[in-house]
A and B are shown apart, each in its own frame.
Chain A
Amino acid sequence: MPGRPALNRQIRRHAKHKLTASLSTSPILALIGNPNAGKSSLFNQLTGMRQKTGNFPGVTVDKKSGTWTVDAQLTATVVDLPGVYSIYPKSLDEQLVTDILANPAHPDYPDVAVVVVDASNLHRNLLLFTQVADLGVPTVLALNMLDVAMKQSKQVNSVRLAMRLGVPVVRINARTGEGIDSLKKAVMGQLEHPTLPGQLFFDPADGEPDLITDTKEHYQLTNNYLALQYIIQHDGFSFLNRSQQVGLDEIIKKHNFSEPTFQANETITRYKRIATVVSEAVTDQRPIGQPTWSQKFDRILLHPVWGYAIFGMVLLLIFQAIFAWAQPFMDAIDTGVAWLNGQLKASLPAGPLTDLLTDGILAGIGGILVFIPQIAFLFLLVALLEESGYMSRVMVIMDRIMRKFGLNGRSVVPLISGVACAVPAIMATRSIGTRRDRLITILVTPLMSCSARLPIYTILIALVVPSQRVIGLFNLQGLALMGLYLLGLVSALLSAYVLKLLLKTKERGFFIMELPTFKLPRWNHVGMTVYDSVRSFVWEAGRVILAISIVLWVLASYGPGNAIEQAETRVRKENATLANDDLQNRIASERLEASYAGHFGHFIEPAIRPLGYDWKIGIALLSSFAAREVFVGTMSTIYSIGSGDDDGENTTIRQRLREERNPDTGQPMYTPALAWSLLVFYVFAMMCMSTLAATQRETKSWKWPAVQLAYMMILAYVSAFATYQLMK
């Protein structure tokens, strides 16, 4: 019997493994399944760990692990793997599953694989299951979405299924956690006495006996199907060295083996076996093509007119929410921070420490806290789009347009998530199977306006765009904001087009994608996503901003030698007749100019003068070079130090900017030309170290982050220059 030696080896390996497992390490459980089968929901049920699960293919782009306390003695490591349709990967995120399952020496090689299947689509889901089982991994089949199957009048007999497949089958509901106890029992059973189906579902030795024997001998393998994977996929196996890969090429040549033909035959054979099993275990198959309510929805959402109209409305809604709905919350936080600042100044003894706390720390942190409502709204709406399944429809209606620009329908997800943050967006490009499409998507995604730009946009728009309604519906400021986002999108598409012309490829792109059914969002998941994003924004960004605020306060409050004192004395002497308030302001301004920060600002002023910026903005630009969200915090700190109102007045950063005067003309400093020049600069500028690091990680080269930094910075400088000179 061909499957036997593999089975024995597995049992031996596991008997040995278990001995050590019970002593020191914990067993490893891998969750494997098709996209949208419910792996990530099950993962959350088992581990209680928070993570995002979206309702479109490819949301888990990397493995995630957590621990599951099975019982008092046993704690298992659970690894959640990206969703795949088969063991033959189509894209980078899918490669991970094969890398682990084909390599028993891999640290994440599972002791038990839990294959999660969507019971409403058993045929396609079982294809992957049979491949995993054939690789010799002890497997438990978790039947999920039985409620959906039931609605489609399908009855699954799990006992018969277990008998026919030869592995334990458990009925679960990954969303509610039903059936976790049975899953626990089945997993324990497989850990204690690993059992595999009596024979392989597809034995490659039946078609190519010599090839398989040869491979097994040369590479000390016992499993026929693993030997076939060595043959077909060895180019992608990083655990094989160069000579081993060449050796496999030679075996293929020697036996005149045609990989694609054999692989096609494998899939057809597996489906035949699955059809027999399913016909015995499932009753009442619904005929195909009968439109379910989900499909009726599609007729509208993919409609040539309504499809785009609805998508446009959804985007408009997002921007309205960000700008209009979040406003009351933002105002409350803004005035709250200013009030606290005033209270502290009034109650604490005057001195450098109080100044550091109020002008330095509180001004910087307040500049960030105020954007929590907007960021929460943004992540809430993006999470809802992902959870509901609408995002997949957007990919379909956008594919043709995206292709024109050298992108792919799948690029829509990174581009839209890029509105939240470019770092996860760049990671999400792993689901794009075509290498060139993926690279282009990575390079242009940071042009989408991320949430860190939002604070900058908000403040500057509020300065120069009146808050009035047009056509009785839309807030003019909301439209201006949408305009900036569109500018980012259009420039991303145009850059992609240029890159498409520059990067030639022979690789064929493809777009074969499952359209998941619409699902009601899991509110706890949506809530967690929003909470996590806001928390990480406040913590991650907050820490950097806090540190920079303190450093900046020191740099802005002290200068070389006694330059600051000299400046103050000079101002007092020259302006002895000025009223007290004006005098204080003039002094504060001169002191700032004489400080270290002032010197930095003056140093780069010649380079940014053509864009309309003065040395104060120069300081903010420099400090936000590594992370653009620092800009507003820096501005708050600078203008707070640079104004003389130490009397505890409730002044917000917006008021300070509005009151700022151009020293040459005496007119308001923030003219529309300057504000728009700054806005355009921040739309394009690559001011985010984390994004560059993500690009470096994902492209595995320093060339592409360098290209990204260079082209975006040049674009930013030239566009800001043009904007200022034209509007001046």
Chain B
Amino acid sequence: MLIKLNLNKDSRFAPAPKAMSKRSVADLKPGERATIESFNDQLMSLKLLEMGCLPGAEVCLHCKAPLGDPICLNVSGYCLSMRRSEAATILIEN
């Protein structure tokens, strides 16, 4: 069974928002939880999706490396590390 998506108009792959209106995973504090809403960088999103960062998935900022970069994220039961700039492409629900 497949879910047909109108991908070209899909809001999840909209260009980066102009203002800092949306919070991203990079803004999380250690221990804070959030739900992934969308991505603002398509190429990065392909890698993140494969690693289980799906829209609707709950994530928890596990810890930050010294100087806050890279960060470690708990997602779908395991720990994923990524750079702050990469985390900033994962937008979260408010």
Give A contacts to B, CB under 8 Å: 85-86, 88, 90, 120-121, 123-124, 127, 152, 202-203, 206-207, 258, 260-265, 267-269, 271-273, 285-286, 288-289, 291, 294-295, 298-299, 302-305, 307-308, 392, 395-397, 399-400, 409, 508, 510-515, 517
Contact = CB atoms under 8 A, between A and B. Distances in A.
Nearest to A409: B70
B3 A264 contact: no
B81 A511 contact: yes
A304 B69 CA distance: 11
B62 A396 contact: no
A123 B77 contact: yes
B20 interface: no
15 contacts: A152-B77, A207-B4, A261-B10, A265-B7, A268-B55, A272-B3, A288-B33, A288-B77, A289-B33, A289-B58, A298-B62, A298-B72, A396-B70, A400-B66, A513-B80
A459 to B, nearest CB: 38
A261 B42 contact: yes
B44 interface: yes
Contacts of A289: 31, 33, 58, 60, 62, 74
B51 A265 contact: no
A260 B42 contact: yes
A260 B12 CA distance: 13
Nearest to B42: A260
A206 B4 CA distance: 8
A305 B47 CA distance: 31
Contact of B80 (A152, A286, A514): A514
Contact of A264 (B13, B31, B60): B13
A152 B69 CA distance: 29
B76 interface: yes
Interface in B1-52: 1-5, 7-8, 10, 13, 31, 33, 42-52
A264 B45 contact: yes
Contacts of A291: 62
B79 A512 contact: no
B46 to A, nearest CB: 6
List of 4 A-B pairs having minimum Cβ-Cβ separation, nearest first = A289-B60, A304-B66, A515-B79, A267-B49
B54 interface: yes
Contacts of A517: 79
Contacts of B49: 264, 267-268, 271
B86 A264 contact: no
Contact of B46 (A88, A152, A273): A88
Given A261-B13, A512-B48, 20 more contacts: A121-B77, A127-B50, A258-B8, A260-B42, A261-B8, A261-B42, A269-B2, A271-B54, A295-B62, A302-B63, A302-B65, A302-B72, A305-B66, A308-B66, A395-B81, A399-B69, A508-B43, A510-B86, A511-B81, A514-B81
Contacts of A120: 77
Nearest to B41: A508
Nearest to B78: A121
Contacts, number: 149
A513 B82 contact: yes
B72 to A, nearest CB: 6
B76 A124 contact: yes
Contacts of B74: 288-289, 295
Given A260-B42, A399-B65, A511 B82 contact: yes
Nearest to B2: A206
Contacts of A511: 70, 81-83, 86
Contacts of B5: 265
Contacts of B33: 288-289
A286 B80 CA distance: 17
Given A264-B13, A399-B69, A124 B44 contact: no
A457 B39 CA distance: 52
Given A261-B42, A511-B70, A307 B65 contact: yes
Contacts of B76: 121, 123-124, 288
A400 B79 contact: no
Contact of B78 (A263, A285, A303, A514): A514
B81 to A, nearest CB: 5
A295 B78 CA distance: 10
B92 interface: no
Given A261-B7, A295-B62, A271 B79 contact: no
Given A85-B50, A271-B52, A298-B63, A396 B42 contact: no
Contacts of A86: 50
B91 interface: no
Contacts of A269: 2-3
B2 A203 contact: yes
A718 to B, nearest CB: 35
Nearest to B55: A268
Contact of B72 (A271, A285, A304, A396): A396
Nearest to A86: B50
A203 B59 CA distance: 29
Contacts of B47: 90, 510, 512
A397 B31 CA distance: 19
B75 interface: yes
Max chain B Cβ within 10 angstroms of own Cβ: one of A271, A396, A400? A396
A264 B78 contact: no
B83 A302 contact: no
Contacts of A397: 65-66
Contacts of A510: 44, 47, 82-83, 86
